[in-house]
Chains A and B, each alone.
Chain A
Amino acid sequence: MKLTVEALRRALLATADAIEQQKDELTDLDREIGDGDHGINMSRGFQGVKKELEAQNSLTDLGELSKLVGMTLIKTVGGASGPLYGTAFVKFATKWKDKQSAEGEDLFAGFKEATEGIKSRGKSQVGQKTMVDIWEPFTAALQTDTSLEKVIDQALADTKAMVATKGRASYFGEETKAVQDPGALSSSILLKNIAEVLLHD
């Protein structure tokens, strides 16, 4: 498994399209257990990323690309997702600085740093029904032979069954059980698209 600049770029463009398709679903979930803006915010953010990527063809290293994406998300997404997703990409950039591709330990180190960044920014941990519950198992699976897509699907199912104890959803308590966390769903969309380029390139 190897992540190149071109592959990450392709995964991000595919994510932008997928977010657009699932925009209403993300917003509806957020309306149930949050403030009802997740689809709108993620759409604005990833359309912003798409625009930046289409305008810049000269990016040659993963660090630069990740930083550009991170700063774009921080500026355009807003809410809690802006700093959380933005931090993830800014953290990729610190581990993938000057690298044209990442594989093995380098690939894992980037995702580990991003996951830790999300946890630290949100003061969250595994099991609180948040995006961390997707990022953490995905990152762990990079060091094993398990299918990344299966790991993401299992993580989504596990997260859905949890009761939220962090963020806006936590005020809804038991009502959050069996409702998917919108941040977990949007994370699964992004990570599935990254898994796709990792596995099939």
Chain B
Amino acid sequence: MINLILVSHSEKLATGLKELLAEMVPSIEILVAAGLEDGKIGTEVSRIEQAFSRISDDALILTDIGSATMNAEMALELYTGKHTIRFVDVPLVEGSFLAAVLSGQGQQIDQIVTALEQEYLSKEKTN
């Protein structure tokens, strides 16, 4: 089952989201790469790399803002492991909800990425 990696500035935000997703799809494997030491706010490459080392299948990364995205892309470029990891730049909460459900239905990484892109990136911005 496709794993989800949640990259956020806030560990509380990411673990809260993980709880929310586990309620929808109890079997989903979610890794949190969020915050800094001592509960500080921020993102860093090493936490994302640690999450990469713990995935059990192909995985999808979702991020909150700015540096979370840059650090995720950086970590992805440095990744040399055996799984396919994809990053898709969609809203964290909504995107991970859809991804969790699709993963629970047994969809593969490419299908999930395509679905997320269609849902969140192909529409015109309304704001």
Which residues of A are in contact with B by a Cβ distance under 8 Å? Answer: 35, 37, 74-75, 78-80, 82-84, 86-87, 121-122, 167-168
Contact = CB atoms under 8 A, between A and B. Distances in A.
Contact of A83 (B41, B42, B65, B73): B73
28 contacts: A35-B41, A35-B42, A37-B42, A74-B74, A75-B45, A78-B42, A78-B43, A78-B44, A78-B67, A78-B71, A79-B42, A79-B43, A80-B67, A80-B70, A82-B44, A82-B45, A82-B67, A82-B71, A83-B71, A83-B73, A83-B74, A86-B74, A87-B74, A121-B70, A121-B73, A122-B70, A167-B66, A168-B66
Given A80-B66, A80-B67, A167-B66, A74 B73 contact: no
Given A83-B73, A121-B73, A74 B66 contact: no
A79 B67 contact: yes
Nearest to A120: B73
A82 B73 CA distance: 12
Interface of B: 36, 41-46, 65-67, 70-71, 73-74, 78
B108 to A, nearest CB: 28
Contacts, number: 43
Contact of B67 (A74, A75, A83): A83
Contacts of A37: 42
A138 B81 CA distance: 38
A86 B44 CA distance: 12
Contacts of B71: 78, 82-83
A168 B45 CA distance: 19
Contacts of B67: 78-80, 82-83
Contacts of A83: 45, 67, 70-71, 73-74
Given A78-B36, A121-B70, A168-B66, 17 more contacts: A74-B45, A74-B78, A78-B42, A78-B44, A79-B42, A79-B67, A80-B66, A80-B70, A82-B44, A82-B67, A83-B45, A83-B67, A83-B71, A84-B70, A122-B70, A167-B66, A168-B65
